[in-house]
Structure 1
């Protein structure tokens, strides 16, 4: 919910302010221009508000994704994967400290690659479980017809 609300409000601010139409702006500059145009404060105060929002949003996102991915790793490998979980935590910490030194394009490309890679286990699971889903669906409709 946090992500949906923040991203929707930011997108609406960008669209309503018209900041997206300026070809000279890129990345967070577009959002900064939208905040400066839309908020009833000076440009410096609006930029500070945006910076504070970004800090909190980035921090909560880092913590949330770390917890989520660690729980998934534990589920896939079982409770006996303490060494793997510890290795993952260190890798995650290193990635968090390397990220700010990359270009915005490199960060987005990396995020897109890893989000795309998440599709593979899901597609495999869909294929493997398609028979079970078909069987359960038939059983559901059979029981539903019987009740009517």
Structure 2
């Protein structure tokens, strides 16, 4: 299992690298001001981090209340992932529209673009991180390849 220090390093690295990649990319693709997009990125990272904690806490409590356990089947994992992303999108959508001065439909397109970017980025980042800083418990499990 990863140490607390390692988890903090991973979380900070994930957010910083994600911002360094997503902000200029979003500014370029959507023609937004880089400074304004940077602030939006910081707001988004803050919302995502807070939502991650709150959502997982609520989900685990609800799951334990309904089933007596926090064990997640594949079906429950899909429900968890989809409901997490939908909740995050709903929270971020009006902020994108307001901060960038755009309509809700354009904000939805920006929101979806961020979700797609971060899904791909999370996969690549985690793979690279696990390669550079292997989890001692993952040795021999085949989880890294």
Q: TM-score, normalised by structure 2?
A: 0.35
TM-score of the superposition, structure 1-length normalised?
0.35
Structure ranking higher on relative contact order (CA contacts 8 Å, 6+ apart): 2
Larger radius of gyration: 1
